[in-house]
Structures are given as C-alpha cells and as structure tokens.
Amino acid sequence: MEHEVLVPAVPRSVSEFLSLRNELATTPQGGAAAFVLALMAYASDKAFGLTCLTTVIDGSRLQDGTAGVQGKEPRRADQQAFRDYLGSRPHLARSYVQGTTPENGYQPPPPPWRVRIKEQPSDVQADQARVFVFCTGADSPRPLRLRRNTAGVWKATEWSSLLVGIRPPVAQADEI
C-alpha cells in the first residue's frame, strides 16, 4: 500500500522540529517522513540536524553525549555515516522529497513537501515496521525500519539503505 505524507513546513528550531515530529510520527509512514526531514536538516546544518536526528532515532541507537538532545546523541558510527554520506552529498537527503530530480539538483519545491512511502501489510506490526521510502534519484524505494516507543512515536532503527548512492545531480552549464 502506498502513502504520501505531507510535510507542511520547514522547522527552524528544535522545538518546531519536535512539534512536527510529534504530529507526523504517530504512524510508521509519518516516522519515515520525520526521519527524511531530519536527514535534510543535517545536510544543511550539521549541528541542528544532529539534534533533529537524535529525536527521530530509536533509543537503542543512541549513546550518552552532548551533541544531541537531553544528554543523548546518535552512536559514533552513525554520526560518522551521516558525515560520510551526507557531508559531500547533501542532495542525497533531498532526493526523498517528491518533485526533486537530478536535473534540478534535487532542489525541493516549496512546502508542503511530499514524501512517498509504501509498505506490505505484513511489514507493519503493533510496535515495529518496515516501510519503503521512494527516492527520486533511484529506481526503487528504500527500506527503513522503525519502532514505536512508549510515547507512541515511531522512530528509525535501521536506515542504511537511505544513505546509499543515487543518480548524481546534473551539472549546470555555469558549474563546468
């Protein structure tokens, strides 16, 4: 089954991000959209984005630290992966928003943004889910695993496929 999650606005602060996360992540599909939004935040502002990522990642993937929220931050290996994959390719995060293309450098349209998600009925359980996020730079959607926490918020537990390569942005004439 396919879903489209609308992201109504771009959060400018941690409190705005948390409010939007709490609104969206009441379903696995909304949790996936919140994760995509956190990736996009990281790609444009690493410090703010790391804070956002801390709030959308399951507690099992967090460690004690000051870079995130409330004394927690993503594990060092996960932080390294975000740096490695998004640091030089910020367009990767934007490719999960519908309307982006290699030809437009994966620039998202004005909000509301649309994130397309699909899942198989057997992939969504009471507190665990596997969904597939559509990517405009790849031929098939990418899996994302989530777990619902005790507050009812769906958070990512495994996202490595969302960080793999996509078609590169088309170079503009003035970039050559």
**Residue extents of the structural domains in the chain:** 2-167
pLDDT of residue 176: 47
d(CA 78, CA 175): 32
Contacts of 22 (CB under 8 A, 6+ apart): 153
Within a 13 Å sphere around the CA of 115, how many CA atoms are in the beta-carbon half? 29
Local confidence band at 172 (pLDDT 50, 70, 90 cut-offs): low
Identity of residue 168: P
Here the tokens at position 144 are 């994302």
Q: What is the pTM of this model?
A: 0.95
SS percent in the chain: helix, strand, coil, step 5: 40, 25, 40
The pair phi, psi for residue 9, each rounded to 5°, is -155, 165
Cα torsion through 42, 47, 52, 57, rounded to 10: 80
- Read off the pLDDT of residues 94-136 as tens digits, 9 standing for 90 and up: 999 999 999 999 999 999 999 999 999 899 999 999 999 999 9
Q: Where are the beta strands (DSSP E) in the chain?
A: 2-7, 62-69, 72-74, 113-118, 128-133, 142-148, 154-158
Least confident of 4-8, 40-44, 104-108, 171-175: 171-175
What would the mean pLDDT of 127-148 be, rounded to a whole number? 98
What does the mean pLDDT of the chain come to?
95
